[in-house]
Structure 1
Amino acid sequence: MIRSSNPALKESSFLDINSGTVVRGGNDVMTLNGTVNKTGMLLLLCVLTAAFAWSQVSTPAGIVGAAPYMWGGLIGGLVLAFATIFKKEWAPITAPLYAPLYALLEGFFLGAISAMFNHMYEGIVMQAVLLTFATLFAMLFAYRSGMIKVTEKFKLGVVAATGGIFLVYLASIVMGFFGVNIPMIHESGMVGIGFSLVVVVVASLNLVLDFDFIENAVAKGAPKHMEWYGAFGLMVTLVWLYIEFLRLLSKLQSR
Structure 2
Amino acid sequence: MSVLQSSNPALSDNALKGADWWSESKAADTATISGIVNKTGLFAIITTIAGAGGYAFFKGQPQLLMPMMLVIFALNIGMFFIIRGSATRARNFGFVYSVLQGLFLGGVAMLFDGMLASQGIAVAGGVAVQAFVITAGCLISMLALFRAGILTGGPLFTRIIKVAVAGVAVAFLISLVLYAFGIDTIVFSPGSAFASGNTFLIGMLATIFLLGLASLTLIIDFRQAEDLVQSGAPKETEWYVAFGLIVSLVWIYLESLKLVLYITMMNRD
Higher helix share: 2
Contact 1:139-1:207 within 8 A present in 2 as well: yes
| Distance change >3 Å, CA 195–CA 243, structure 1 → 2 | same
Give the corresponding residue for 2:196: none
Inter-partner Cα distance in structure 1 for 2:166 and 2:87: 29
Equivalent AA in structure 1 for residue 5 of structure 2: R
2:96 matches 1:101? yes
CA offsets, 1:145-197, max 9 Å, x none?
11213221111111111111111111111111111233566423211111111
Output the amino acid matched with 1:50.
G
Q: 1:40 to 1:14 in 2, by over 3 A?
A: same
Q: Percent identity?
A: 29
1:22 Cα deviation after fit: 5.8
TM-score (norm 1): 0.88
- Equivalent residues in 2 for 1:173-212, closer than 5 Å: 173-183=176-186, 186=189, 187-188=192-193, 189-212=200-223
Q: SS state of the match for residue 224, structure 1? A: coil
Pair 1:156–1:50, CA change in 2 (3 A):
same
Give the gaps of 5 or more residues in structure 1.
none
Match of 1:220 in 2: 231
SS in 1 for 2:240: helix
The DSSP-based 3-state class of the residue aligned with 2:161 is helix
The amino acid of 1:107's aligned partner reads: G
Q: How far apart, in 2, do the equivalents of 1:37 and 1:6 lie?
A: 20
> In structure 1, what is the equivalent of residue 37 of structure 2?
36
- Cα distance in 1 for partners of 2:249, 2:71 equals 19
1:72-118 Cα shifts (integer Å, max 9, x gaps):
33222221220132xx4xx3532211111100111111111111112
**TM-score relative to the length of structure 2:** 0.84
The equivalent of 1:118 in structure 2 is 113
* Residue 145 (structure 2) pairs with residue 146 (structure 1): no
Partner of 1:15: 17
Give yes or no for contact 1:14–1:222 (8 Å, CA) kept in 2.
no
Secondary structure of the 1:65 match is helix
- Consecutive unaligned residues of structure 2, counting only runs of 5 or more, are 117-122, 194-199
Q: Which amino acid aligns with 1:136?
A: L
